[in-house]
Amino acid sequence: MKKRVYVSCIAVAMMMVGCNEKKAALTGGIDLSNLDTTALPGADFYRYACGGWMKKHPLADEYSRFGSFDQLAEDNRVRLKELIESLASGEAAEGTEAQKIGDLYSVAMDSVKLNQEGATPIRPLLEQIAALREKGELPAFVARLRRAGFSPYFAVYVGADAKNSEMNIVNTYQDGLSLGEREYYLDRDEHTLKIREAFQAHVAKMFQLVGFSVEEAAGAAMNVMAIEIRLANAAKSAVELRDPQANYNKMTVEELQRAVPGIDWNLYFSALGLSGLQEVNVGQPAALREVAAIFNEVELSVQKSYLQWKVIDAAATCLSDAIYAQNFDFYEKTLSGKQEAQPRWKRSVSTVNGILGEIVGKLYVEKHFPAAAKERMISLVENLRTALGERIRGVRWMSDETKERALEKLAAIRVKVGYPDTWRDYSRLEIRKDSYWENVMRASIFEYDYMLSKAGQPVDKEEWLMTPQTVNAYYNPTTNEICFPAGILQYPFFDMKADDAFNYGAIGVVIGHEMTHGFDDQGRQFDKEGNLKEWWTADDAARFEERARVLVDHFNAIEVLPDLQANGELTLGENIADFGGIQVAYTAFQHAMSAAPLDDVEGFTPVQRFFLAYAALWAANIRDEQIRVLTRSDPHSLGRWRVNGTLPHIPAWYEAFHVTSDSPLYLPEERRAEIW
Ligand SMILES: [Zn+2]
């Protein structure tokens, strides 16, 4: 489910921090062995800048994609394991953070116990579903499942009211599709048909593994498909979901009862823990009406299969090896192309990091995050802010009136660096040695109740949406803030020992990227206070759309596989942010260079090094299966195209690498984007 629907981040994968003790190379941060200088920059800049890295990091069986981000995660996992094990080793008093970390890690690691138990931990819940007697019981039961972390039919979350951004509101959102995107259920191409067939076979196998007969399992799988196909038909595509106005349908619960009859909403919200709820934002009314129709039209026995499936599917990674293996076989192998599961210790570290993230994070920053890094970052952010301001003033297509408001919005952007000032309180989360699955359920309820407690309350602008050990960054439009966790403030994103060419090309572009999200096709619809409210003149808005269209068309024409094109509409916001981020960082870099000029290093000019540092962030190897998955679901372009797709729009890149009109990547000026 999507908790923060408009939050944009730099990369899709939420990785953990690494602590790469990369030596400050003489090249000013650029590792020359990452290059493949047999490639021509104007023909394939990605290979030129990253080819050496890709050769040095062949794809291991447990990965469907491995890039510089994943390398950080790998390095760091070992450190997190040490942190966790040091806490877990001593005798910790009941209820302490050390006891929670230690016990959670040990139940996750205990394969003997997990294999003995098999499906036993989820059996009571499956039986409760089997015992439902009438459809009238569905709303309250579905609410209970939602609260415990399952995702049947539709989601309910609490987040900022997009048109009253100081306050939190309860929202509904489409959900319930095991495969995520609606196209998996509806498209008729050969590849999708195969996935759909494999999915249904997988559902049947999973039912068998938890104790159903072959016939029962086959019937249950058909029931699951019947419901998910109905949900898919009523669902919006990932592109349609990018429209914040369309997702804004605030109403009273009484109005909801009239707009979506067929579900007793007071009953539903009470069961969820929201008695007396007054108003709600309905994200996608048509999808919700279809849920009400399914509740009432589809036989209860069919819906029971669907609910049981949602339990089995969610629990699969916390049960026996046999169940884990079947889950891996479909989602990770068939869908994403991985050949081998991660070893248990890696999965267990991820579980602890996911459930007790701020306990791990607090220890992490104490040990690995230098205060000097924060100071340097804050001054970089301010230099980038100045540069974006200059660029906004300088654009020729925008009226002074809109520019004035854009500059006000830019000045109002809040900045978070490193880690939060106050830490999450886990004292009410109970972690015991009873069972892995029971702990995961208690943690889900703990998280969900924490979120619900914010309903109708003012937005806490000090809250962090990522843990400090995360290798990522984000822009949140409803608070108009950018956030850079400690995890991203290390090589190859940031290097205290490297020169400006490197740091502006790497973390500088990341900062510019997040700032530009405030002015991309989604972010620009929010004002400086984070409200979804028009602040552009109609002419300026139309000219922006026209300019953004250049990037949509450019990316739509990119072939990511011989039979597959990139999705320019889905990736528009991220492509604008990459394009703007590079332009803004380059401007800031020029200012830094005029104050403190740099020399060539090992034959590379400072500007060349700026672009090499940028490209190196996206170095990765990826399987074809994962290219298909990400092209359908990821709002970010693939690493290759964040380099080869975006740089041809940047004038300074042509100059730096002498790329001329006979080069394959060359774009005539009239086809280059000109936005920020
Ligand atoms: Zn982004």
| pLDDT, tens digit, 9 for 90 and up, residues 546-573 | 999 999 999 999 999 999 999 999 999 9
Ligand 1 centroid–CA 511 distance in Å is 10
Burial class of residue 662 in the structure, from the number of CB atoms within 10 Å of its CB (0-12 exposed, 13-18 middle, 19+ buried): exposed
Q: Could you tell me what percent of the chain has a pLDDT over 70? A: 97
* pLDDT at residue 29, rounded to an integer: 87
How many angstroms separate the alpha carbon of residue 584 from the centre of ligand 1? 15
For every residue of 439-453, which 3-state class applies, written as one string?
Answer: HHHHHHHHHHHHHHC
pLDDT digits (tens, 9 = 90+) for 498-539: 999 999 999 999 999 999 999 999 999 999 999 999 999 999
Residue 35's φ and ψ, nearest 5 degrees, are -85, 160
Q: Is the pLDDT of residue 371 over 90?
A: no
- Tens-place pLDDT, residues 305-318: 999 999 999 999 99
Distance 10 CA to ligand 1 centre (A): 4
Ligand 1 centroid – CA 416 distance (Å): 16
User: Distance, CA 11 to ligand 1 centroid (Å)?
Assistant: 7
Spell out the CATH class of 124-318. Answer: mainly alpha
* CA 165 to ligand 1 centroid distance, Å: 21
CA 209 to ligand 1 center in whole angstroms: 40
Q: How far apart are CA 106 and CA 104, in angstroms?
A: 5
Q: Where are the domains of the chain?
A: 8-79+369-422+462-671, 124-318
Alpha carbons within 13 A on the beta-carbon side of 14 = 13
More confident residue, 12 or 145: 145
Confidence (pLDDT) at 183? 98
Domains 8-79+369-422+462-671 and 124-318 belong to one CATH topology: no
Select from 331, 64, 340 the least CA-distant residue to 203.
331
CA of residue 515 to ligand 1 center, whole Å: 9
**Cα(233)–Cα(250) distance, integer angstroms:** 23
pLDDT tens digits, residue range 35-55? 999 999 999 999 999 999 999
Confidence of residue 69 (pLDDT cuts 50, 70, 90): confident
Burial, 585: exposed, middle or buried (Cβ in 10 Å; 0-12, 13-18, 19+)? buried
Spacing of C-alpha 205 from chain mean position:
30
pLDDT at 1: 45
Helix, coil or strand: residue 110: coil
- Would the pLDDT of 2 be above 50? no
In whole angstroms, give the CA distance from residue 253 to residue 174.
18
Structure-token pair, residue 235: 């669902």
Work out the pLDDT band at 411, boundaries 50, 70, 90.
Answer: very high
Residue 486 CA to ligand 1 center (angstroms) comes to 17
Say if residue 402's pLDDT is above 50: yes
The pLDDT of residue 604 is 96
Instruction: Give the pLDDT mean for 613-628.
Output: 98
CB 612 within 8 A of CB 419: no
CATH code reported for the domain at 8-79+369-422+462-671: 3.40.390.10
Neighbour count for residue 459 (Cβ, 10 Å): 20
Give distance in angstroms: CA of 630 to centre of ligand 1. 15
- Average pLDDT taken over every residue of the chain: 95
Q: What percent of the chain has pLDDT over 90?
A: 91
Q: How confident is the model at residue 87 (pLDDT cuts 50, 70, 90)?
A: confident
> From ligand 1's centre to the CA of 581, what distance in Å?
10
| Predicted local confidence at residue 91, as pLDDT | 80
Tell me the per-residue pLDDT of 287-307, one tens digit each, with 9 for 90 and over: 999 999 999 999 999 999 999
**Ligand 1 centroid vs 474 CA: distance in angstroms?**
7
User: Residue 605, SS3?
Assistant: coil
Distance 513 CA to ligand 1 centre (A): 6
What pLDDT shows up at residue 27? 52
Q: What is the mean pLDDT of residues 489-496?
A: 92
Amino acid at 306: Y
Measured in Å, residue 217 CA sits from the centre of ligand 1 at 42
Q: How far apart are CA 514 and CA 485, in angstroms?
A: 13
Cα(636) to centroid(ligand 1), Å: 7
127 CA to centre of ligand 1 in angstroms: 43
With 60 as the cut, is the pLDDT of residue 26 above it?
no
State in Å: Cα 627 to ligand 1 middle: 19
Give the tokens for residue 495. Answer: 């290097």
How sure is the predictor about 4, in pLDDT bands with cuts at 50, 70 and 90? Answer: low
pLDDT band at residue 599 under the 50/70/90 scheme: very high
Q: Tell how far the Cα of 573 is from the centroid of ligand 1, in angstroms.
A: 7
Q: What would the two tokens of residue 343 be?
A: 């070893």
